[in-house]
Structure 1
Amino acid sequence: MGRILLICRLALRDLRRRPGEAALLLLATTAATATLTIALALNGVTGQPFQSTRAATAGPDVVASLAWPGQSEDPADLAGLEALASAPGVAAHSGPYPYTQAVVEANGVTVRAWTQGRGAEAAAVDQPALVEGGWVADGGAVLEASFAQAIGVDAGDAITLGGRSFRVAGVAVTAAADPYPKVCLAPCWFGVGAESRAENGPPRTRPRPERGPPSGPPEEPSFWIGQGGLVWVTEADARGLATRPGSLAYVMNLKLTDPAAAPAFVRAHMPEAESMLFPVAWQDILYGHARVAEWKQTALLGGSWMLGLLALASIAVLVGGRMADQLRRVGLLKAVGGTPGLVAAVLLAQHLAVALVAAAAGLLAGRLVAPLLAEPGIGLIGRADPGPLTLPVAGLVTALALGVAGVATFLPAVRAARTSTVRALADLPRPPRRAGWLIAVSARLPVPLLLGLRWAARRPRRAVLGVAAIAVTVTGIVAALATDARRYAEKAPGDDPRTALGQVLSLVVVMLVAQAVVNAVCVIWAATLEARRSSALARALGATPGQISAGLSAAQVLPALGGALLGIAGGIGLAEILDDDPVAVPPLWQLLAVVLGCVVVIAGLTAVPARLNARRPAGEALRTEPA
């Protein structure tokens, strides 16, 4: 107990002597732990609201739609849907309901919508739940909630549907379709059914009868696959909106005796390739609603690991700089009987203590912020509560904090423990590493670049950490810009709900920039501390204070420039990995702004300590050199 108490007292005294450094470590580690906590809290947040919506709307277990793509002039054959309704395992069904596509115009927004015909009576399976207004009537349309919000309409407003004027009778939610703009019925393919269809080969359109060569311009396809919403009208209005027989399709909602077996049911009842009957399991519809939350979670998980890497670099640089400043104190501790293990334990204890506080602060901050990012969207009923703070979650977050602090402190602690007592008491500076090629290259450079290049080469591991820190930061920023560019490139008309991902990406970018600034401050502080004697010697040999200041800035700017260039390639690659869609390269001006921004920020952060160091009298710095 006496040894443990001694280690704790020494570690606490070290932290109290340098509160600013402890605060930087706390901030760096808290950012990583808070981001990881938010990401873990978002796991499965959409499941509960989706199940509530299924219960309120008698949600189907399988949605089967039937249509013919292309320029078909024949109506869909309902035999396949009727066979599904009597298939083993089907407990109830509703439909088939007719549907077509029509162009919706409202508030200056023009977008296509899947327009489904419904009766006035409630359906046994999939009866959309009204959140505003009433159900369908002649000349009245009911819009799916996320679609209504996107185009900015409410009950009672007027819209144009297929060139005809309709009144918005109500707004409703459903568990039988993806939210806007991902609503898709046959001839669209996704989920388990698409995987099964791929095994049978691509679908083929119904052959057209021989009628001689076509005359006039080609007809438009019966259905357009792309961004769209969902509208319910009366069956008579749906049939009236169909421009030709081939543009009228049908959908049926099935209730199974075992809802969990919906994917297996879909696989078992996928028709041959020439049929356009397409069943979809409710699990695939749930994934469509959870996609936005999943994007947020993926962005936060990636951000937490990036922030963890930056915290690792910050702690490693800070600990290394402190060891250079505290080498004599280590010698005194050894001289009075401290063992190498005791020296290493003191260094580890103070940083592990900061990590424990950071883990607690990150868990608290993450729990407070998570509800703000857990909204399931207006297309579902109920609120999405973040996952509970369980022991595994707390353990994982704490392990991240302790792991970052332990890994970053281990090597400096071992190096300090192995330093001889005599050398530590003498407080001799570490001899610089000299390379013939570097001396030859730098000899012809201007004095600031000569000094900067040689100072950077004196501590190659620190230079590598600086490059890695900037590369990680720029990787995150460029990945966010690429993802944002992709989202806006495919942005649906109106208020696309997928742009909510930009909020999370902005949060991650802000935290990455803040963490990078912390890391840069740690690197600059350590570099300025170690350059006191060498810069004083350079001044004694004729270098001016301005050249010394510019040299210190160059020593930090050069690694930052290399890291920024690596980060651009890494960010585009990361965006390609995280997004199923093709990557969109950000505009050139944005990439140049990121690179120049890194250089300017690093140069600005270095300017103040470098100028203060350059103003210090050279004789005073050199007198600290032992004889």
Structure 2
Amino acid sequence: MIGRLLLVCRLAVRDLRRRRTETVLLLLAVMAATTTLTLGLVLRDTAGDPYRSTREATDGPDVVAGAGDPALLTDLQKLAGVAGHGGPYPVAAARLRASDGTSDVQAVGREAAMASVDQPRLTRGSWVRDGGVVAEAAFATALGLRVGDPVTLNGRSFEVVGVAVTAAMAPYPSGTCLVAQGCVHGARSAGTPEGLLQNPGLVWLTQADARSLDPDNLTYVTNLKLADPDQAQAFVDAHQNGRTLLQSWETVLADATELAQDSQILLMIGAWLLGLLSVASLSVLVGGRIADQHRRVGLLKAVGGTPGFVAAVLLAQYVLVAVLATAAGLTVGTLTAPLLTESSAGLVGAAGPRPVTLSTIGLVTAVALGVAVTATIVPTVRAARASTVTALADSPRPPRRVGWLIALSARLPTPLLLAFRVAARRPRRVVLAVVSIAITVSGVYVLLVLDAFLADQPLVGGYGDVQVEVLRRVLLTWTVLLLALAAINAVVITWATVLDNRHASALTRALGASPGEVSTAMAAAQVLPALAGAVLGVFPGGLALFAAINAITGGDSGRATLPASWHLLVLVLATVLVVAMLTAVPARLGARRPVAETL
């Protein structure tokens, strides 16, 4: 058994080494999908590194509790499992005015002394004092606040004395609402009740100053440290009620990594799109390789190889490529994930590579093997079941004759006549070409819609300018991968068509067709499916993909501006033009082969 396995592996490796260009293309096709999938799987954990660093640097709380009555919070501090606490601290709603703008804020009253639980870490300036305000770092960056700036809170004058970060609340503008009035994140709609704070920032003052801002509408907050931080969510679930609002550190982490969650969704969708493109690419590559290996299949069977053995040799090649692509995708994806995250100004530290978990390795490997097996199983089994004599003869496959197509194409110019008949010989390949282009154009359509959406909304779902750029970077990443893989597909499909039609093309040239007409026909055979795929990629493909992303992320598709009709027309025409340019070279190379040698 071991000897048989070694023989299969040796034959598979030899085949891969003999066709190195095709092997590299196979590797790149699968690696694109595995890399994007790995990015999606590890991005969320990587993005959480800055929050964990901030939590450690500030003695962050395990649970943050708010209530209108401080006695309720005092009772929570006495519960079993609570190892430490800070507060209760008064919280007031206020309107902050600075030289660079105005904003609603939640003003938390703190003591001048350092707290044992949740002591915000100063990045600039000093801690609170009478008449002094400390601004949360992300909020200070967004509003342009600097140490020494004069500001007013509800009409009272203060000075910015410091800037700090905290782990008790997600950075601006995704922070939790602490005040009794309530808050609204994002743009205020026509039906929003008056009095709600819009995208409030966070500032700290002395307790006396905080109480003086709005003495009749104070809320209170306490920070709890548990003996077992992993039980924070269980503690919240057990003691949450209508009079107190509790939030675990896991919830704050989720809010702090909201951007990474949306980036992760986009990357996962991109991974599945690339997986589909990889199946199309591998199907064509495998079909072309196996068609070129008919004689080798016959030799293996002639020396005693069973159909199962032959199928194992053929399939092992692509399994080995899938394994290599998995290793490369896991490595590249893990190292690249920190580049697609952006640490908020409200956190300390930066994202770094994280160890890959067994579940991630298992899922990426399963996807890579699934792509390889799905794309190769049908042509592999078909080749293994061919008779030995037929395989050794390696005779060209006779063309399929379709009466209506012959009648339709008979009066067309020679290049179009040949293009229609070349396409008709391999309808499965035409379908793969259409699907490949449709998937790519759908991805580009979504990129155009989301890019315009992000440009029109400076605060979309709580995002700032830096976060918007990160999302654009993520969109650009998988769009570039889609375009690259689609370009590879176009070239591969054309080259496979050239090889598959080499005998028919030589005979056509022998009967009077010029090399230019034959090469034009080969390129046109790919341009026609590209046109159909581009149209399908815009409608319904692009609209359906955008609707799916909105459904998953909970976005509001009604706020997005769809591309203008002329933009879509340019996209379709550009797709056809690019495919024509990509397919012209392999088509021309195939048409230059001597007729006598081919026949």
Pair in the same fold by TM > 0.5:
yes
Determine whether 1:599 maps to 2:576.
yes
Change (3 A) 1:50 1:190: farther
Deviation of residue 480 (structure 1)? 3.8
User: In structure 2, what residue type is equivalent to 1:223?
Assistant: L
> CA shift at 1:291, angstroms?
1.2
**Residues 148-187 of structure 1: matches in 2 within 5 Å?**
148-157=140-149, 167-185=159-177, 186=179, 187=181
Partner of 1:271: 242
Judge which range, 146-155 or 174-183, deviates more: 146-155
Deviations 1:224-248 (A, max 9, x none): 33x3432223456556766xx88x5
Separation of aligned partners in 1, 2:434 and 2:446:
18
Aligned match of 2:282: 315
Looking at structure 2, the residues matched to 375 and 534 of structure 1 have their Cα atoms a distance apart, in angstroms, of 56
TM-score, normalising length: structure 2: 0.84
Shift of 1:515: 1.8
From 171, 177, 202, the counterpart of 1:230: 202
Kept after mapping to 1: 8 A contact 2:183/2:197: no
Query: Which residue in the other structure is 1:252 paired with?
Result: 221
Tell me the SS of whatever aligns to 1:380.
Answer: coil
- CA drift of 1:172 comes to 0.9
Alpha-carbon distance between aligned partners in 2 of 1:461 and 1:470, rounded to the nearest angstrom:
15
- In structure 1, what is the equivalent of residue 188 of structure 2? none
Q: CA deviation at 1:164?
A: 7.0
Change (3 A) 1:502 1:158: farther
How far apart are 1:517 and its partner, in Å? Answer: 1.8
What is the SS of the residue equivalent to 1:42?
A: helix
Shift of 1:96: 4.2
Deviation at 1:24, TM superposition (A): 0.9
Aligned mate of 1:515, from 472, 485, 488: 485
**Whole-angstrom CA distance in 2 between matches of 1:251 and 1:446:** 82
Deviation at 1:54, TM superposition (A): 3.8
User: Which residue of 564, 567, 579 corresponds with 2:553?
Assistant: 579
In structure 1, how many angstroms separate the alpha carbons of the residues matched to 2:48 and 2:351?
8
Name the aligned partner's letter for residue 219 of structure 2. Y
1:75 is matched with none
Distance 1:575 1:184 in 2: 26
Kept in 2: contact 1:158–1:165 (CA 8 A): yes
Residue 28 of structure 2 is matched in structure 1 by 27
- 1:69 alignment partner in structure 2: none
Secondary structure of the equivalent of 1:44?
A: helix
Letter in structure 2 aligned against 1:597: A
Corresponding residue for 2:586?
609
Match of 1:346 among 307, 313, 335: 313
Distance (Å, rounded) in 2 between the aligned partners of 1:12 and 1:279? 60
Counterpart Cα distance in 1 of 2:193 and 2:551: 36
Give the equivalent residue in structure 1 for 2:93.
100
Give, in whole Å, the separation in 2 of the partners of 1:472 and 1:264. Answer: 46
Q: Which residue of 1 aligns with 2:394?
A: 427
Distance in 2 between residues matched to 1:375 and 1:585, nearest whole Å = 26
Stretch deviating more after TM superposition (322-331 or 2-11): 2-11
Alpha-carbon distance in structure 1 between the residues aligned to 2:436 and 2:299? 34
Deviation at 1:404, TM superposition (A): 2.2
Matched residues in 2 for 1:591 and 1:240: separation? 58
Counterpart residue type for residue 231 of structure 1: V
Give 1:86's aligned amino acid.
Answer: D
What is the alpha-carbon distance in structure 1 between the residues aligned to residue 469 and residue 182 of structure 2?
23
Alignment counterpart, residue 498 of structure 2, candidates 528, 542, 550: 528
Residue by residue over 1:463-501, the C-alpha shift from the partner in whole angstroms, topping out at 9 and shown as x without a partner, is 222222223333333334444444334323963435322
Residue 83 (1) aligns with residue 68 (2): no
Instruction: Tell me how far apart the structure 2 counterparts of residues 494 and 410 of structure 1 sit (CA, whole Å).
Output: 48
**Root-mean-square deviation (Å):** 3.5
- Unaligned runs of 5+ residues in structure 2 are 186-191
Kept in 2, the 8 Å contact 1:374–1:385? The answer is no
| Equivalent-residue separation in structure 1 for 2:262 and 2:458 (angstroms) | 16
Q: CA deviation at 1:119?
A: 4.2
Structure 1 SS opposite 2:45: coil
Q: Is the 8 A contact 1:475 1:571 kept in 2?
A: yes
User: Which whole-Å CA distance do the structure 1 matches of 2:498 and 2:340 have between them?
Assistant: 41
Give the C-alpha shift of residue 519 in structure 1: 1.9
CA contact (8 A) 1:147 1:229 kept: yes
State the match for 1:71 in structure 2.
none
Report the 3-state secondary structure (helix = DSSP H, G, I; strand = E; otherwise coil) of the residue aligned with 2:123. Answer: strand
Distance in 2 separating the partners of 1:161 and 1:383: 33
- 1:306-327 per-residue CA deviation (whole Å, 9 max, x = no partner) reads 3232222212111101222232
Alpha carbons 1:45, 1:376 under 8 Å: kept: no
Q: Give the alignment partner of residue 129 of structure 1, picking from 102, 115, 121.
A: 121
1:25 Cα deviation from its structure 2 partner: 1.1
1:231 and 1:325, CA in 2 relative to 1: closer, same or farther beyond 3 A?
same
What does residue range 313-392 of structure 1 map to in structure 2 within 5 Å?
313-373=280-340, 376-392=343-359
| 2:204 counterpart letter in structure 1 | W
Structure 2 CA distance for aligned equivalents of residues 571 and 590 of structure 1: 18
1:599 to partner: Cα distance: 1.8
Q: Which amino acid aligns with 1:134?
A: S
The verdict on how the C-alpha distance between 1:36 and 1:157 changes in structure 2, with shifts beyond 3 A counting, is same
User: What does residue 258 of structure 2 align with?
Assistant: 291
Q: Secondary structure at the match of 1:143?
A: strand
Aligned positions of 1:372-451 closer than 5 A: 372-373=339-340, 376-443=343-410, 445-451=412-418
Structure 1: runs of 5+ lacking an equivalent: 67-77, 192-218
Superposed displacement of residue 170, structure 1 = 1.4
Q: Which residue of 2 aligns with 1:212?
A: none
Would you say the 8 A contact 1:151–1:494 is kept in 2?
no
Q: Which moved more, 1:454-463 or 1:581-590?
A: 581-590
Q: Conserved in 1, the CA contact under 8 Å of 2:91 and 2:221?
A: no
* TM-score relative to the length of structure 1: 0.80
Go from structure 1 to structure 2 and tell me whether the alpha carbon gap of 1:455 and 1:385 turns closer, same or farther (over 3 Å shift): same
CA spacing shift, 1:105–1:448, aligned 2, 3 Å:
farther
- Residues 88-133 of structure 1: CA deviation (Å, up to 9, x unaligned): 7385452342322324545x56554434444434456543221221
1:432 and 1:59, CA in 2 relative to 1: closer, same or farther beyond 3 A? same
Residues 182 and 197 in structure 2, CA contact (< 8 A), matched pair in contact too: no
Distance 1:255 1:6, change over 3 A: closer
> In structure 2, what is the Cα distance between the partners aligned to 1:598 and 1:358?
28
Specify the alignment match of 1:200 in structure 2: none
The amino acid of 1:576's aligned partner reads: N
Greater shift after overlay, 346-355 or 5-14?
5-14
Contact 2:182–2:196 under 8 Å retained in 1: no
Q: State the alpha-carbon separation in 1 of the partners of residues 544 and 329 from structure 2.
A: 27
